[in-house]
Copies of this chain bind each other. A is one copy, B any other.
């Protein structure tokens, strides 16, 4: 049943089936990383910093403890995490925030443009406090989740141009690069 190690969309939900680890663990059968201990928050790098992220949700009218908790956590962890993971982390630090609230807060933040969200090839939504306000993309390590924000002005231009050539307007795009980072390759 296990498909080849390509970046295909097979093995769908299988990734998160192991609800404890990072969503990347074991995402690629060919990866060097078999299984890391549970509750191991992904170690990430942020190479293009730029602190522009406020400590309150602009759109929000009320500042509650749980929102503060979520915001605080987002400020501490780097890299992408699923709502479930973030919730688990909150539980681990006894932050007492309901899963529902985590989802709702995350959604608010995304709408407010204060956090980034992508999707795992498997379809699960990932969230990350983004340091850049401009449009950018991510280079994500398949095994540890280490993330690098990359800007690709050339790509933006190319995408817009291609779209224009075909008569498309209101163009937007999604682009993520996956790979194994040096650290993981070395280990």
Contacts and interface: CB of A to CB of B under 8 A. Distances in A.
**Majority DSSP secondary structure for residues of A touching B:** mixed
Interface in A91-135: 107, 110-111, 113, 117, 119, 121, 123-125
A77 to B, nearest CB: 19
A125 B124 CA distance: 11
B111 A3 contact: yes
Contact of A178 (B6, B141, B173): B173
Interface string A11-50: 0100000000000000010110000000000000001000
A72 interface: no
Nearest to A185: B169
A181 interface: yes
Contact of A162 (B111, B166, B177): B177
Contact of A168 (B7, B119, B176, B179): B179
A57 interface: no
Contacts of A47: 166
A10 to B, nearest CB: 5
A169 B163 contact: no
B168 A158 contact: no
A163 B139 contact: yes
12 contacts: A7-B173, A12-B125, A30-B170, A47-B166, A119-B123, A121-B174, A139-B168, A148-B166, A155-B155, A159-B177, A168-B179, A170-B179
